[in-house]
Amino acid sequence: MSATLSAPVLPEYLKGRDFLTFLEYSPEELQELLTLAAQLKQLKRNRIPHKLLEGLSVAMYFEKPSNRTRVSFEVGIYDLGAHPFMLRKDEINLGVRETIADTARTLSRYVDCIMIRTFAQKDVEELAQWADVPVINGLTDDYHPCQVLADLLTVQERFGSFKGRKLTYVGDGNNMANSLMLGCAMVGMDVTIASPSGYQPQPAIVEKAQSIAAQSGATVAVSDDVKAAVKDASVVYTDVWASMGQEAEAEARKQVFKAYQVNAENLALALPEAIVLHCLPAHRGEEITAEVLEKHADVIFEQAENRLHAQKAVLAAIVR
């Protein structure tokens, strides 16, 4: 099998693009990234070198701590033949030690791409505005496109197609909910967000996702009824109830979200072949039971692996 695999042809028209929210890409371009991710995964699995970014450099700036994001990006950058550079908050202190514009213009003289994982989406947007190299959003409070690209790859691997499938997200209407709505709408997969009142996704993002879905033939819905939302789902997705920066709210959120748990009772309403996804880290006994997590551990950790392949696809497509 390995003898038939070769490095993919990279789409020239994506070179130099930022990857910030998904909205910078057309549905066709998003599908092209998924196809490229699948190809790169096969090369990695078969230990076939694919140094598509030989000799280039990628800066990785972290204001939020990370396990999956840092390791998957660093390994992926090495796989592609480039050099990763880790930048910590105490070294850069974006927007404080110097302006974001000056940081962007300086880093653009040293590296070929900047990946940033931070709190404010506006900081990522400003960095991209001033940088002369592509900027990748590794996570903000509003969006997590790298994770959702990996999620879509996982769904595609399991079901072959998005059409006629429904993804239900159960939990806080956070960055994951926002990016899942946009990503699912773009590939034509129905998506429902089940969140308690007061914790639902931003209306403007819901409306944007619904507008995209109207073109792709999908539906985007928001509900506070978990059982109705999970019914007939092919994918049931969850995330922690309190994200980074919300630690002071954690105990109060446990009470608000206690009915919004992915457990055997709720999962029984989904389709028999339904899979469970979780972007991790998981808090067993809160947003998901240990029983459900372990039953679906195979696909959840395949999903975690797919961060590597999805991000490599973005890097290979936009850097060079």
Cα 249 from Cα 238, distance rounded (Å): 18
144 classed as catalytic: yes
Catalytic residue among 68, 117, 278, 296: 117
CA atoms of 298 and 72, how far apart (whole Å)? 18
* 55 has a pLDDT exceeding 90: yes
255 is catalytic: no
Question: Quick check: 129 pLDDT over 60?
Answer: yes
Per-residue pLDDT, averaged over 83-103, amounts to: 90
| pLDDT for 245 | 67
Is pLDDT above 50 for 109? yes
Residue 42, burial from CB neighbour count under 10 angstroms (0-12, 13-18, 19+): middle
The one-character DSSP state at 8 is P
pLDDT at residue 3 greater than cutoff 60: no
Instruction: Calculate mean pLDDT across residues 267-296.
Output: 98
pTM for the structure as a whole = 0.96
Instruction: Map out the domains of the chain with their CATH numbers.
Output: 14-143+307-318 (3.40.50.1370), 147-304 (3.40.50.1370)
Q: Is 202 a catalytic residue?
A: no
Q: Which residue has the higher pLDDT, 91 or 26?
A: 26
Which of 85-94, 201-210, 292-301 shows the lowest per-residue confidence on average (mean pLDDT)?
85-94
Catalytic residue among 68, 151, 279, 303: 279
How far lies 200's CA from each of 208, 280, 286, in Å? 15, 20, 18
User: What is the residue-averaged pLDDT of the chain?
Assistant: 95
pLDDT at 244 over 70: no
* Distance between CA atoms of residues 64 and 118, nearest Å: 6
Active site residue 45: no
DSSP state of 203: H
Q: What is the model's pLDDT at position 178?
A: 98
d(CA 276, CA 293): 8
Which residue among the candidates 39, 113, 142, 147 is catalytic per the annotation? 147
Provide the pLDDT for residue 1: 43
